[in-house]
DNA sequence: GTCATTACCTGACTAAGGTCAGGGAATGAC
DNA sequence: GTCATTCCCTGACCTTAGTCAGGTAATGAC
């Protein structure tokens, strides 16, 4: 958000609204949370119990990493849960330094209980409302959740050989293979070699959510030719967050800063959402400017030059 | 919510949605809350500082009651704030057992700082979003907040002489006085005497939010005549929560349980929102059935008899 | 075999948030 | 004037949620 936009948001009362929301929600949900989920078990233990999960054994170090807790603290929490017979801790068969943990029968019951309480909390919020209000509350909640999730997605430049970038490119190829009538074989496509998506000849963006890569987009910046967008992909679980749009405008901005006046891209007719995005974002369809065998549509957009 | 409705809500995935919301949003907001507002001052002290408020002196016992904290604990917190020169505690002039507390200049500054941090938190949530997403986020937040507030409003039968009932009736009269072209003088109106809004001849509902009365509605149940709704009012600050509709249907339900087959009411043309509510709730306009001088419209609704 | 590293455990410690049982001063009811 | 009550303060105590500095056993690199 620029300073300009901050001011704008304040004038709209948006900041005020968000603050009110934080107060109301944090307090109401918080209080109920304590009321319903408290009592049974200290929060730390409950979190751990939850994270261990119903089935299978887990390495203690993984659980610890996911919760971001101190090793000593987790050790103590595990001792407490073990004492109550809720978890079983055993050495890892392959590496006897590592310890694994799984829920016992009693542990699964206790976890189910937490589940029930969580349901009860949700029900208590819905209970006083009539059917119409409930519908509106849940859709508004979904919207808030979606947008707040979107707001913690980070986008950064990564080398196309970075594991997260590779993961995205593989997922992208796998998905096209799935979707295209003709299948998709990267060997037949005008696949940019990694060098083209790396400074100074281009760049590659990767979006992360909670540390996981969830989307990517590549930009070719050939000398003396229009910029070209390649490999714009958002993982299925992160769609609907406006992430593709964000990646697209980030690329456009960087292309403009680089001095490009025109940005082009090609796409397949099976990628309907992408095609819609391009049209909505000011791209106009143009005749084929390359011989990409998998492309059905070619687009371009004129960029407003950066002045400073 | 009836058992039937609980099942329905579960099928809709509404409970699941609310749970996801609680996890994602409450946690994210909570964590950020701690991150931004933590640091400076322990949460307990910050809460107290906030509750004391910018201006005026407050009885310690009131502050304590509003926060629902232990007397000893508050005493200690106040000592800490006093030590840092943020509050001044003085005996109450009228009753020297009671102590009063007010913010010092430094205290007001510290509180403003909490304010700024709260703004910073809000801004950090809005920052990664574009203007359209920000608009959608804030309106969804407003909706969630509104409906969560609505869900903590309680409605109960109160004697019309109860202070909260009296407060509502006075506010109702004052508001009509303001709104009606002709003004409003209860002495000229067919004011039901309190006995008519009290068992067995009727009843009076009062809605509370955080312990404050925020709305009311009266029902006359004359023997051998249709039930009659009187004095339906919702305080300005609590409008838009669907409270009037809730009070109305609660009265209808009680009238039906009492055996009434018809419920009637009269209203003034200046009360546009109310008139709309009646029409939307299945009331049909009928000729005047009384000589209430302030009424322009008369409505009735046939009730479905209660079978059990 | 040596040595650094990894994964975990333990003991010592801290801060926050809170409860509980008195005790003293002021007040109100009688 | 007596006595119960109210309001507050204090000291003692508790749990939770951590952090930090070692220490130990197992492992992998050389």
Strands B227-234 and B262-267 turn out to be parallel
Cβ contact, residue pair B140, A136, below 8 Å = no
Per DSSP, the three-state class of B36 is helix
Cβ contact, residue pair B125, A20, below 8 Å = no
Q: What is the DSSP letter of B22?
A: I
A118 CA to C10 C1' distance (Å): 35
Residue B11 has pLDDT above 80, yes or no: no
Residue B59 has pLDDT above 60, yes or no: yes
Shortest CA gap A246–chain B (Å): 9
**DSSP readout, A7-31?**
HHHHHTTHHHHHHHHHHHHHHHHHH
* H or E, element range at A79: helix A71-83
Mutate which of B122, B124, B240, B242 to test chain A, going by most A C-beta atoms within 10 A? B122
Q: Which residue has the higher pLDDT, B281 or B94?
A: B281
* pLDDT value at residue A43: 87
pLDDT, tens digit, 9 for 90 and up, residues A232-261:
999 998 898 889 999 999 999 999 999 999
Shortest CA gap A291–chain B (Å): 35
Quick one: which of B66, B101, B78 has its CA closest to B212? B66
A175: exposed, middle or buried (Cβ count in 10 Å: 0-12, 13-18, 19+): middle
B98 CA to C20 C1' distance (Å): 22
Task: Tell me the chain B residues in contact with residue A142 when contact means C-beta distances shorter than 8 Å.
Answer: 17, 21
Cβ contact, residue pair B129, A151, below 8 Å = yes
- Show which positions of strand C are touched by protein (CB under 7 A): 6-12, 15-22, 24-28
Residue nearest to nucleotide C25 (CA to C1'): B97
When pLDDT is averaged across residues B268-287 and rounded to a whole number, the result is: 94
A109 CA to D10 C1' distance (Å): 44
Q: What percent of chain A has pLDDT over 90?
A: 44
B79 CA to D4 C1' distance (Å): 29
Q: Which residue has the higher pLDDT, A216 or B151?
A: A216
* pLDDT value at residue A279: 96
Quick one: which of B12, B36, B48 has its CA closest to B125? B36
Of residues A33, A123, A129, nearest to B26 (C-beta): A33
Q: What percent of chain A has pLDDT over 70?
A: 92
Cβ contact, residue pair B15, A150, below 8 Å = no
Cβ(A81)–Cβ(A51) below 8 Å: no
Residue B305 has pLDDT above 90, yes or no: no
Please name the residue that has the structure tokens 């009012």.
Answer: B233
When pLDDT is averaged across residues B107-114 and rounded to a whole number, the result is: 89
Shortest CA gap B190–chain A (Å): 33
Residue B218 has pLDDT above 90, yes or no: yes
At residue B159, φ and ψ (nearest 5 deg) are -70, 140
Per DSSP, the three-state class of A281 is coil
* pLDDT value at residue B194: 67
Distance of CA B25 to the CA centre of its chain: 24
Cβ(B197)–Cβ(B203) below 8 Å: yes
Instruction: Give the C-alpha separation, B75 to B80, whole Å.
Output: 9
* pLDDT value at residue B254: 94
Q: Which residue has the higher pLDDT, B109 or B34?
A: B109
Quick one: which of B29, B241, B211, B147 has its CA closest to A126? B147
Instruction: Give the C-alpha separation, A275 to A267, whole Å.
Output: 7
Least confident of A253-262, B124-133, B200-209: B124-133
CB pairs under 8 A between A and B: 186
Which parts of the protein come within 7 Å of strand C, by CB position?
A 59-61, 64, 71-72, 74-76, 78-79, 89, 95, 97-99; B 42-45, 69-73, 76, 94-97
Cβ contact, residue pair B122, A18, below 8 Å = yes
**CA distances in angstroms from B254 to B186, B198, B219, listed in the order given:** 26, 13, 9
Alpha helix stretches (DSSP H) within B127-228: 131-150, 163-179
Cβ contact, residue pair B25, A145, below 8 Å = yes
Task: Tell me the chain A residues in contact with residue B28 when contact means C-beta distances shorter than 8 Å.
Answer: 148, 152
A92 CA to D27 C1' distance (Å): 13
Task: Tell me the chain B residues in contact with residue A127 when contact means C-beta distances shorter than 8 Å.
Answer: 1, 151
Max mean pLDDT among A40-49, A102-111, A277-286, B151-160 falls in A277-286
Shortest CA gap B9–chain A (Å): 8
Cβ contact, residue pair A141, B137, below 8 Å = no
Nearest CA in chain B to A47: B23
């Amino acid at each position: 958000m620029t300073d300009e936009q901050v001011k704008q948001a304040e004038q709209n009362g948006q900041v005020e609204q968000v603050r009110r929301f934080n107060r109301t929600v944090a307090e109401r949900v918080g209080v109920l949370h304590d009321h319903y989920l408290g009592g049974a078990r200290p929060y730390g233990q409950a979190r751990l119990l939850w994270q261990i999960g119903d089935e299978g054994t887990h390495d203690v170090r993984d659980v610890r990493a996911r919760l971001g807790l101190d090793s000593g603290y987790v050790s103590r929490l595990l001792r407490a849960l073990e004492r109550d017979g809720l978890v079983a801790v055993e050495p890892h068969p392959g590496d006897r330094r590592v310890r694994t943990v799984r829920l016992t029968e009693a542990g699964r019951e206790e976890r189910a209980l937490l589940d029930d309480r969580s349901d009860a909390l949700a029900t208590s919020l819905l209970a006083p409302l009539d059917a119409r209000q409930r519908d509106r509350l849940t859709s508004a909640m979904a919207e808030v959740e979606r947008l707040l999730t979107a707001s913690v997605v980070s986008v950064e430049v990564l080398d196309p050989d970075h594991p997260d970038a590779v993961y995205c490119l593989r997922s992208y190829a796998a998905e096209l293979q799935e979707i295209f009538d003709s299948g998709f074989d990267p060997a037949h496509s005008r696949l940019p070699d990694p060098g083209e998506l790396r400074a100074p000849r281009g760049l590659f963006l990767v979006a992360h959510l909670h540390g996981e890569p969830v989307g990517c987009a590549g930009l070719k910046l050939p000398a003396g030719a229009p910029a070209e967008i390649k490999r714009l992909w958002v993982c299925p679980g992160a769609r609907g967050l406006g992430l593709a749009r964000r990646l697209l405008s980030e690329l456009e901005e960087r292309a403009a800063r680089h001095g490009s006046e025109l940005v082009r891209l090609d796409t397949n007719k099976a990628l309907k959402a992408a095609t819609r995005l391009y049209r909505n974002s000011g791209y106009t369809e143009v005749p084929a400017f390359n011989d990409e065998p998998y492309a059905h549509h070619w687009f371009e957009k004129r960029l407003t030059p950066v002045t400073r």
